[in-house]
Amino acid sequence: MTKVKKVVNLLKAAFTFSRPKRWGVISEIYQSTKFDAPISVSYSQGAEDLVLLHFLKKELGFYIDIGAHHPNRFSVTRLLYDRGWSGINVDANPDLKYEFSRWRPRDMFLNFAVGDSEEFRFTRFKESAISTINGVWRDQFIAKGNQVLDEISVPGITMRELFELVPLETDLDLVNLDVEGADLEALKSLGDTSRLPIKMPNWFLCETPEGVDDALRTDTVEFIVRLGYRPWAILPLSTLLKRI
C-alpha cells in the first residue's frame, strides 16, 4: 500500500471515529488488538467467511444466501460482497428488505421461506437470528427462555426456483443454507435434479453441529453428498461441501 493511500485511509478512519455509532466497534477492535498488528475481519459467527475466502479463489463470484438473516450481522456473505461478489439473499423476515437494499445494492433480496409449501408460518424472536418456520425448533427456543415477537405468514419458494433465477451466463459459486431447523425441507424442494437439470452450485455451506462425526451424520450433509458433493471442511458451526 502506498503512503498516499495509507494517508487517505487514515483520514477516512478518523472521520469514522467521530461517529458515536461506531465507537462500540472501534472499542472492541482496540480491546482485542491494541492496534499493534494487522487483523482479519469476519462478519460470520464461526469465521466461515474467512474459510470461504481460502477455498473460493475467485475475484468475482455469485452466491445464494438462504436464511441470510442480515446484510452485516452474522453474515457469511458480507465479506464476499466487500470483495466484489454479488448474489441473491433469501429470508422470511420482511423487515430485512430495507437493510439489504441499503447495504447490498448489487444484491437481490427475496422475502420467502424455502420449501415445497406455498405458505409458511414464521415465528420471529427477539433474537432475530433464531427465527424459524420449524415448529420443533420454535418450541425448543421458547423452552430456553427466548422471547417471541410475533408469528407471520410468509410465501414459499422452492430451492429449484431459486436456482433458476441465476442468470444463464453466471456460475452459481456458493449456496449458504442456514434456516434454523428447516434445511432439509429446503433441500428437498430441489426436486429431481436429473430431470430438466438445473444449475447447481460449486460449493454448499450448511449449518451442522460441532464435531466431525456428528457433522457428517446430519441429514443435510448426507442429502448434499447424494447430490454429488464431497465434504471439504468441517467448521465449528457448519460444513463446507464441494461439487465433484
Q: What is the DSSP letter of 193?
A: T
Cell digits for 67? Answer: 436464511
pTM of the model: 0.86
pLDDT in tens, 122-160: 999 999 999 999 999 999 999 999 999 999 999 999 999
pLDDT band at 9 (very low <50, low <70, confident <90, very high): low
**pLDDT of the residue at 11:** 65
Structural domains of the chain, ranges and CATH numbers in brackets: 1-39 (no CATH), 42-116+157-243 (3.40.50.150)
| Interstrand relation of 238-243 and 119-125 (parallel, antiparallel or unpaired) | unpaired
Q: How far is CA 179 from each of CA 132, 148, 212, rounded to the nearest angstrom?
A: 7, 17, 21
Answer yes or no: are the C-beta atoms of 127 and 161 closer than 8 Å: no
- Cell for 22? 461506531
- List, in sequence order, every beta strand (DSSP E) within 126-170: 148-157
73 neighbors 44 (Cβ within 8 angstroms) = no
- Percent of the chain past pLDDT 90, that is, above it, reads 78
Distance CA 214, CA 194 (A): 29
Encoded amino acid at 3, one letter: K
Per-residue confidence band for 38, with pLDDT thresholds at 50, 70 and 90 = confident
Give the lowest-confidence range in 46-60, 143-157, 185-199: 185-199
Q: Say which range, 102-111, 118-127, 194-203, 207-216, has the weakest mean pLDDT.
A: 194-203
In a 3-state reduction of DSSP, which class is residue 138?
Answer: helix
Q: Strand 148-157 and strand 108-110: pairing?
A: unpaired
Pull the grid cell for residue 197. Answer: 437439470
